[in-house]
Copies of this chain bind each other. A is one copy, B any other.
Amino acid sequence: MKIKPFDVFDSAPVLADVPLLAAAGESLHYLDNAATTQKPNAVIDAISDCYRQHNAPVHRGLYDLAENASQLYETARRTLAKFIGAASDQLIFTRSATESINMVAQGWLRPRLNKGDQIWLTRMEHHANYLPWQALCRDNGARLRIIELNQDGTLDLENCTGLYDASTKLIALTQVSNVLGVINPLKEICAKAAGQGIAVMIDAAQSVGHMPVDVTELDCDFLVFSAHKMFGPNGIGALYGKAERLNQMEPLLLGGGMVDHVSQCDSIWMPYPTKFEAGSQNLADALGFAAAVNWIRQHDMHAMHAHVTELTQYALDSLAKLNNVEIYGPRDAEQRAGIVSFNLTDVHPHDVGQIAGERGVAIRAGHHCCQPLMQQLGIAATARASFAPYNNRNDVDALIESLHAAQALMG
């Protein structure tokens, strides 16, 4: 079954830009984009170019190569900051979304979280946005509260009594669920929280680079994301914070570069963002990160997002036609990002994933680092297909065929 692409977006040029996929051709249908995305040449080249032409210590040297490295690093910071509507110095380079969240938990909330205070999360949070708060609540005697979900996987904001109470110190939630694909109504939550002086931290690991994200518009206190989930390199991520919050926040890592004055008993940190970037800067990956942003801009994020939405709808509709399938989250692709979780009755998701894999369809099977959600759904795992602009209908068709094969083999 081959169908001509029905939307105006042509994914072929995007695919041609991504050497791993271009080389694999029809032998690989990469649908594990929510785990990590594949990389365009522009990103790979930015990294090698860095090592071939620009490599030098950042913010430390007086010779041209080092001065140039410092400037390239700060230009990358500006690119990233602008992309999410932030002031340049409020964009901190971290190692990952995971580190960014832990920085907020340890550096900002820990010193100001008291016994009896509340932290609110949602049922759909990734372990990265669950475990740091769980540990903090245990240590400080605070309460971990959960916004539960409606039947269709959206947040049940009606029944979370106490969400905006004075005892709530932070609401930490994801913009897009990496299991359900659901997009959460952040503006509403941020606005209400701001009214009560409650800080909001947004896990934007699944949204930045895939849909417009603007911290000024959202008016959130913190926002975190990872380069590798938006066509950028491994090993680098970002943390945005409001100026006031960054001033209050203590660094997670202490070391070179982040300190102004060291004396026998005490030390004085540099202002942000420097305070939060202890150790030698990751120049190559910062340049790769910025190259990813420029690549996204060049291909038009809105067009790519629309394409992914259409592909998601096609996948939802195709899956719904299977027998014995359970699909999680809303059926309307407009309400979600390009992430679809499902299960086949009586076929373990690991077998679904393995059988699809043997047929060149790369999907994910497991709890997706969302055990609290799995427990609520009463399942151990799901299979998950997740889409990127370089995917097309053939990938969805191959997925569906592999599911037929799984049912035939295991049925």
Contact = CB atoms under 8 A, between A and B. Distances in A.
A298 interface: no
A85 interface: no
A149 B361 CA distance: 62
A11 to B, nearest CB: 19
A60 interface: yes
B256 A128 contact: yes
A353 B57 CA distance: 14
Contact of A279 (B48, B98, B278, B361): B98
Interface in A230-282: 233-236, 252-257, 259, 261-267, 278-282
Interface in A294-322: none
- Name the residue in A36, A62, A130 with the highest tally of chain B Cβ atoms < 10 Å from its Cβ: A62
A194 interface: no
Interface stretch (A38-46, A165-173, A326-334, A390-398): A38-46
A101 interface: yes
Contacts of A360: 63
Contact of A262 (B51, B130, B365): B130
Contacts of A228: 280
Given A63-B361, A236-B235, A371 B262 contact: yes
B131 A20 contact: no
Contact of A23 (B36, B52, B127, B372): B52
Contacts of A234: 235, 280-285
A259 B43 CA distance: 31
Prevailing SS type, chain A contact patch? mixed
A148 interface: no
A185 interface: no
A376 B48 CA distance: 41
A107 to B, nearest CB: 12
A161 interface: no
A184 interface: no
A135 B252 CA distance: 11
Contacts of A43: 51
A131 B262 contact: yes
Contacts of A109: none
A95 B98 contact: no
B56 A36 contact: yes
Interface in A368-392: 369, 371-372, 375
Nearest to A101: B255
Interface string A335-352: 000000000000000100
Interface of A: 19-20, 23, 28, 30, 32, 35-36, 38-39, 43-44, 47-48, 51-57, 60-66, 95-99, 101-102, 126-128, 130-132, 134-135, 138, 144, 226, 228, 233-236, 252-257, 259, 261-267, 278-285, 350, 353-354, 356-358, 360-366, 369, 371-372, 375
